[in-house]
A and B are shown apart, each in its own frame.
Chain A
Amino acid sequence: MAVIQVMNLNKTYKQKLKKVTALNNMSFKVEKGQICGFLGPNGAGKSTTLKIMMDLIRADSGKVLINGIESTRTDSRKKVGFMPENPPYIDSLTGRELLLFSAKMHNIDYQKEKKRADELLEMLELSGSADKKLRNYSKGMIQRIGFASTLIIEPDLLILDEPMSGLDPIGRYKFKNILKEVKNSGTTIFFSSHIIADIEDICNSVIIVKDGRVIKQLTQKDMKSMAIEGYRILVPKDVKIKEIEKVERLEDGLQVMYVKRELLNKTIHDLKGVDIISIEPVKKSLEAIFVKEIEQN
């Protein structure tokens, strides 16, 4: 079942005297239980799409369904956690107050919300700063408390706009692990980023956008199959096979054969009876796929 359905969204902004098209017939679906990356260069329409999902701005035409409910209805945001880019929170609140406020807005029981707030503060290493005002938080801390405020409502769907932009490498690593844990609990995660490595590490599917429209939607299977260019087969030095693109001889009596993806089965058949030491895929990064798609479009 699709948790998010974006249908033919169009949005034009008026900037002084000219009109700027932000979304141009944007359509896609995100299935339940996925971590879906929303990838695109700056100005591709990622944030506009997310804001329409949260009914912060209104589309000129088209619609978004969240769990089957149109995004312009308040009900669509029940059990949905949203964290905008550089999350702006009322800075006179403390970290703990922010979490309790989010829980209250979703009608969570007071005792439960207090307990959950403490757990989340602990998990995101913010217990020591829980009673400090948000105006005294660093950018990374704001990002973490913002993420905690989306988790306190025990969401079915998380919508995150550039969630790792303020984090240092250790913070990113921990954040990715938490995202994976959240996903394992059954939450669907949809997040935008222009940092390919973040998406490549954790996403089951990727939507690539440019100029306000989807140019490619990749499932995990697509990503894997597109990413593998060929294989490296490690065999003894004396093995010889025709049609091998490239062979590299190693010093300790071994050689590496490079075969194209489509020739793997045939090569393995040809190597019948040979002592194959290892087979490793030669991967093309998501970055290469992304750049190719962007250039082609």
Chain B
Amino acid sequence: MLTIISLTFKNTFKDRIGIIILSMVLLYIIVPVFSSFSMRQLQEISITMSITINSFILLLLAIFGSIATVFRDVERKFVYTLLSHPLKRSDYFMGRFIGFAFVMLVVLISNFVLSVISIKICAAMYKSRLPLLWGNVAITFVFSYLQYLLLMAFGFLFASFATSFFIPFFATIAIFITGNASQGIYDYIFHSASKEYSELFKVIIKAIYYILPNFSSFDFTVHAAYALKISSNQLINSFVYFILYFTIVMSVALIIFNRRDLT
């Protein structure tokens, strides 16, 4: 598996699309520029922008992850030569995932370093009333990494059976959108507009809510930007949620890939 992890890691940095996505770290240049448009909230805006840019780059990588590895290997028949070695399919599949997860980790770390620089520049330009809690910023980055690992796991799930590029590509995007919207919809139906909907409808929505991933539980942007306290319970719940959901998605993906005919 280590050889596959290393192959994936090295090849992503050689891949043209990979390089284009990785070059997006240059977007951090715009953080001080755009933050300065805000007269008094430079620090808050720079934190929000840095986290948003990081999320955007990780989102592209998470979508690209399964397409550039498992899907491409099957489509271009690279699996014929990779799996003809004494290598278990599950080791190949996990090796590809972990290799790409390492790429995302390297990107995350470089994004964090660039964010620290950008935020420091902005914080120095106008002194904010709020303290700058680096711990909160770091937690936000770590949990956004978990969020996009989970999204990439969905990409790998779709790639495990896909015969067309569109399935892993659009289905991963759809999961991202629904995963971010699910908490909002749930809150609206069960709190804001609770009386307007029937009990049956609520049961259905509740079931869907529990099936779909809830990405908002990984989002600590507001806590980072406005120096709000993050409870350890929140962190533990989100982490356990990630572990459980991730294990289920990857297990299903592995079962499907193990049974698949690689024609």
Measured CB to CB, the residues of A under 8 A from B are 13, 51, 54-58, 74-75, 77-78, 80, 82, 84, 87-90, 92-93, 101-102, 104-106, 146, 149
Contacts and interface: CB of A to CB of B under 8 A. Distances in A.
Contacts of B11: 90, 92-93
Contacts of B76: 88
Given A13-B263, A84-B77, A56 B7 contact: no
Given A74-B86, A105-B86, A87 B81 contact: yes
Minimum-distance CB pairs A-B, first 3: A105-B85, A82-B84, A88-B77
Given A77-B87, A101-B3, 5 more contacts: A57-B263, A74-B87, A78-B86, A84-B77, A88-B80
B15 interface: yes
Contacts of B87: 74, 77, 105
B2 to A, nearest CB: 9
B29 interface: no
Contacts of A106: 85-86
A87 B76 CA distance: 10
B3 A54 contact: no
A154 B215 CA distance: 50
Interface string B74-104: 0011111111111110000000000000000
Contacts of B259: 58
Contact of A89 (B81, B83, B262): B81
Contacts of A105: 3, 85-87
Q: Name the interface size band of chain B.
A: 20 to 34
Contacts, number: 67
A87 B78 CA distance: 8
Given A58-B259, A90-B11, A92-B15, A84 B81 contact: yes
A102 B77 contact: no
A56 B83 contact: yes
A139 B227 CA distance: 61
5 contacts: A51-B262, A54-B80, A56-B263, A58-B259, A90-B78
Nearest to B14: A92
B199 interface: no
B91 to A, nearest CB: 9
A4 to B, nearest CB: 15
B196 interface: no
A3 to B, nearest CB: 16
A89 B73 CA distance: 9
A58 B3 contact: no
B81 A74 contact: no
A54 B263 CA distance: 12
Contacts of A146: 81
Nearest to A87: B81
